[in-house]
Amino acid sequence: MRTLVRWDPFAEFRTLRRTMDGFYGPTTWRLHDSALTFPVDVTETDEHLVVKAALPGISPEDVDISVNEGVLTVKGETKSDETSDAENFHRREIRYGAFYRTIPLPVQVNDDKAEAEFKDGFLTVTLPKAEQARPKQIKVKAEAGKLNGSKSS
């Protein structure tokens, strides 16, 4: 007697996604997981690393930010408005609940001097680079009497 096993064509994609999440943090296409996530931009200047996260409809009080061992974590929770039993939803796509995102930082930062600002639904975290991660200027010294590689006689 043979047992029929239902084939799931997306099972391998879910395995791949979990593997990628382990390397890069949660992805933004998690449709059926319990944790919500959000898009981020990570930019770098000579002095700072800047992480900008889109968190529309979130209050700053509902956001928790931490930096630990080169990883920035942003998490929080959104709560649904109270609904009455008389409401019949035709469509309910706005998701409520816990959200989080871990972002591996590409350079060492001075997390003691990090600053965060929340404006118009965007969270901006500015992380000063650690001294060893900043570019160094090296001045070129020229010997007197030598110009453009030629020797004076």
For 15, phi and psi rounded to 5 degrees?
A: -65, -45
At residue 35, the pLDDT reads: 55
CA distance 9 to 12: 7
At residue 147, the pLDDT reads: 59
At residue 145, the pLDDT reads: 65
- Averaged over successive runs of 10 residues, the pLDDT of the chain (153 residues) comes to 77 78 58 66 94 92 92 88 73 81 92 93 94 79 68 52
pTM for the whole thing? 0.63
CA distance 54 to 41: 9
